[in-house]
Amino acid sequence: MKECHTAFAFLHSLIGPHLVAFDNPARCKSLKRENKLQAMDLPKIEKDQLIWALSDNSGWEEYYLDLETGEIILSSMDEVLAEHEVEEEDLESDRYWYIDPIPSWEAYNFMVEFIETVENEELKRRLSIAINGRGAFRMFKATLYEYPEEQKRWFAFHDKKMEQYTDEWLENLSFALKKRK
Q: For 130-174, write each residue's pLDDT tens digit.
A: 999 999 999 999 999 999 999 999 999 999 999 999 999 998 888
Task: Look at residue 89 in the predicted model and tell me its pLDDT.
Answer: 56
CA-wise closest residue to 4 among 19, 26, 34, 37: 26
Task: Decide if pLDDT at 104 tops 70.
Answer: yes
| Domain ranges (residues) in the chain | 2-33, 104-162
Cα 162 from Cα 28, distance rounded (Å): 24
| pLDDT interval class at 69 (50, 70, 90) | confident
| Contact assessment for residue 118 and residue 150, using Cβ atoms and an 8 Å cutoff | yes
| pLDDT interval class at 177 (50, 70, 90) | confident
CA-wise closest residue to 53 among 42, 66, 64: 64
Cα 110 from Cα 84, distance rounded (Å): 34
Q: Which alpha helices (H) appear in the chain, and where do they start and end?
A: 2-15, 25-33, 47-55, 78-83, 104-117, 121-130, 136-145, 148-180
Task: Decide if pLDDT at 32 tops 70.
Answer: no
* pTM listed for this prediction: 0.69
Task: Look at residue 154 in the predicted model and tell me its pLDDT.
Answer: 98
